[in-house]
Amino acid sequence: MTVVRPFRALRYDTKRVDLSNVIVPPYDVIAPDERASYFDRDPHNAIRFELTRDVADEADADYSGIRETLDGWRASGVLVQDEIPAYYVMGQRYSAPSGDVLERIGFFAELGLEEYETRVVRPHERTLVGPKADRLKLLRAAGANLSSVFLLYEDREDELTEMLARTLESAEIGTAQDSGGVEYRLGRMTDAAEIARLREFMAARPSVIADGHHRYETALEYRRQQDALEAAVGAEGSASVERPWHSTIAYFTNAYAPGSLLLPIHRVVREVPAPAESVWREKMPSWSVRALASVSLDRLEALIADELSPRAGHPAFLVETNDGMTLLIHRSEPLKDELMVRIIEKEVLGAVFRLDPDAIRAGAVSFPKSARRAGQEVREGEGTAALYLNPLTPDDVFRATAEGEVMPQKSTFFSPKIPTGMVFRDHRGGDGA
């Protein structure tokens, strides 16, 4: 089902640059005040392929300089293209919120584009028009895939990890460490038998977009436009020849591997006053409501671990309000096929706070990626109530997407993110296998 091909990556020559100084987080998680630090870190930092230095310049940017930069770095030897098509295996070693040190191993490949209707590549969230228009300008100007879509596959028996790890040990081509302390290893898989095994394994199953929906949908639109342009000018070419715009680059990892981490995204109601405990009981009569002692910000994660973690698989959440009230609200029956984020959207944000989906999308709710940040927002007057959740499971994600569902906004956070700068794919470089 999922078409993954080895490709001839364009990548940094690690004899010329330090990968740690040139990789960057995905463009949509770089704060406006962080851009300059990446531009200044190294004259070849990959942020030049993603963003303008100043946010104010973004609306009018045509990204015309990116192709010139790409060609210049190739000519100078900063970027080199591999001679042999390969899969590029990446390991990410990091510290989980629990303090455990984990390593997630996956691989970069050329992904054959499929419309969502085929159910081969499956989205889990909706996208916005603005970011896609911006990314389309960039893709058209660059003629290259410069950042990767991040996808999950289902491998409950963990069949591929040993082979991928072996590549990292025997064919390492680069290492790096980012500013968040994540350590990276990059290896190149060129063995024909291993390539065939990986390709056949992925061809037997669908994949789910974890991160990069805007990038994937931009690639789809670029394909439509390029195909239309080719047809309009009557360009001749064999139908069996794969056009470079029919693919993109993607990073794949096993959602069920020990190093794959799905974290909750909590909710903070910004302005609507938080109800008293009696109102919670009145509005949610089928739920158990128990008052808890307030804790400091430093104790918040421990409170969640003590009260929410044992209730994983059951409807449960914690509420912390700006007047110091903390409540555990839960039910005893299992969630089964229901998603807790959907219950929160309907029965809490909707029924208790009277916020409809349009109000939520308009900014009435923020979505902090850590409990500490959510608690800080409430304590500093940036919100009236924080809602703390358990994380979704891989089963939740695959079940919902298999049924064609799109999950509520900001349902889960896949950690760590996939950096830009490990590998690129130049449409003009003869990249395919």
Q: Would you say residue 350 lies in a domain?
A: yes
Same domain, 272 and 201: no
Same domain, 79 and 175: yes
Say what the alpha-carbon torsion angle 301, 304, 309, 313 is, to the nearest 10 degrees.
Answer: -130
- Which residue range forms the structural domain that includes residue 8? 4-261+415-426
Structure confidence by residue, pLDDT tens digits, 23-48: 999 998 888 999 999 999 999 999 99
Which two structure tokens, joined as six digits, stand for 285?
């009569």
pTM of the model: 0.90
Q: Would you say residue 402 lies in a domain?
A: no
Q: Would you say residue 399 lies in a domain?
A: no
Write down the pLDDT at residue 107: 98
Write down the pLDDT at residue 413: 86
Alpha helices in 93-156 (DSSP H): 129-142
Note down pLDDT in tens along the chain; length 433 residues.
Answer: 899 999 999 999 999 999 999 999 999 888 899 999 999 999 999 999 999 999 888 888 889 999 999 999 999 999 999 999 999 999 999 998 888 999 999 999 999 999 999 999 999 887 767 788 889 999 999 999 999 999 999 999 999 999 999 999 999 999 999 999 999 999 999 999 999 999 999 999 999 999 999 999 999 999 999 999 988 887 665 555 679 999 999 999 999 998 999 999 999 999 999 999 999 999 999 999 999 999 999 999 999 999 999 999 999 999 999 999 999 999 999 998 899 999 999 999 999 999 998 899 889 999 988 899 999 999 999 999 999 999 999 999 999 888 888 888 788 888 899 999 999 999 986 544 4
Same domain, 37 and 185: yes
Name residue, tokens 């100007």: 141
Write down the pLDDT at residue 408: 81
Structure confidence by residue, pLDDT tens digits, 291-310: 999 999 999 999 999 999 99
Angle at CA of residue 197, ends 196 and 201, nearest 5°: 115
Q: Pick from 409, 425, 430, 10: which is nearest to 219 by CA?
A: 425
Q: How far is it, in rounded angstroms, from Cα 110 to Cα 424?
A: 10
DSSP, collapsed to helix, strand or coil, labels residue 161 as: helix
Q: Rounded to whole angstroms, what are the CA distances from 403 to 126, 207, 215, 266?
A: 15, 13, 23, 25
Look at the chain and report how many structural domains it folds into: 2
Q: Pick from 419, 417, 418, 421: which is nearest to 11 by CA?
A: 421
Same domain, 95 and 241: yes
Angle at CA of residue 48, ends 44 and 51, nearest 5°: 155
Same domain, 95 and 128: yes
Order across the sheet with 267-269: list the strands: 288-292, 326-330, 316-321, 385-388, 267-269, 365-366
Same domain, 39 and 176: yes
**How many Å is the Cα radius of gyration of the chain?**
23
Same domain, 44 and 182: yes
Rounded to 5 degrees, φ, ψ at 384 are -100, -25
Asked whether the CA dihedral 152, 91, 35, 54 is positive or negative, the reply is negative
Q: Would you say residue 149 lies in a domain?
A: yes
Rounded to 5 degrees, φ, ψ at 182 are -75, 130
Same domain, 173 and 203: yes
Same domain, 222 and 275: no
Which two structure tokens, joined as six digits, stand for 423?
């590998």
Same domain, 179 and 115: yes
| Amino acid residing at 347 | E
Q: Would you say residue 76 lies in a domain?
A: yes
Write down the pLDDT at residue 29: 86
Which two structure tokens, joined as six digits, stand for 234?
């009557």
Count CB neighbours of 225 within 10 A.
14
Q: How far is it, in rounded angstroms, from Cα 29 to Cα 387?
A: 22
Q: Would you say residue 375 lies in a domain?
A: yes
Q: Would you say residue 401 lies in a domain?
A: no
Same domain, 153 and 299: no
Same domain, 183 and 45: yes
Q: Would you say residue 234 lies in a domain?
A: yes
